Amino acid sequence: MTGRNDLVREIKLAAMALISTIKCDMCDLQLPTGAGGHMYVISPTGERVVCPHPLEEATIKRVTKLDWSAARAKGLLGHISDCVCFECSEQFNLDVERDVKRCPKCGSLDVRTANASVGASCPKCHEGTLISHAIGVS
Ligand SMILES: [Zn+2]
Ligand SMILES: [Zn+2]
């Protein structure tokens, strides 16, 4: 399941490393998106270890003893996204390519990534709209 498309996607993600946050324009709901998620590497014990940017490669090496392309070839790299449940407004991380999109709190399948929820009506107050704000680096 890895290959050219993955690579293209990662390059795009790197280019889009904008810091932004998504907020409801009516209530206090806020989705801390950062760059929209994190890369992770699967450890030998099956744990997902988040690779903080820009030290992804160092983390991959530490966890797997492999370099980036070898780890990718073994399917050990993935990407988790910030997600929100549109049923109960719970926020959590999912690998949308591998995990079932189901809320860990209420079990609803009405789950979207933070990025995909921009412009949707707020799952908390059901009145406002979710709007993306860029955050200045200060
Ligand atoms: Zn839920
Ligand atoms: Zn709201």
Q: What is the per-residue pLDDT across 88-105, written as a single tens digit (0 to 9) for each?
A: 999 999 999 999 999 999
Write the Ramachandran bin of 42: left for phi over 0, alpha for psi from -120 to 50, otherwise beta: beta
C-alpha to C-alpha distance for 111 and 108, rounded to whole angstroms: 7
Question: Mind listing the pLDDT tens digit of every residue in the chain (138 residues)?
Answer: 445 666 555 545 444 445 678 999 999 999 876 566 889 999 999 999 999 888 899 999 999 999 999 999 999 999 999 999 999 999 999 999 999 999 999 999 999 999 899 999 999 999 999 998 876 554
Please, which residues have CB less than 5 A from ligand 1, an ion? 85, 87-88, 90, 103, 105-106, 108
Q: Cα of 76 to ligand 1 centre, how many Å?
A: 28
Domain boundaries, the chain: 4-134
Q: Cα of 110 to ligand 1 centre, how many Å?
A: 8
Show Cβ contacts of residue 60 under 8 Å, excluding neighbours closer than 6 positions. Answer: 41, 51, 66, 67, 68, 71, 76, 77
Helix (H, G, I), strand (E, B) or coil at 34: strand
Residue 81: strand pairing partners: 37, 94
| pTM, two decimal places | 0.74
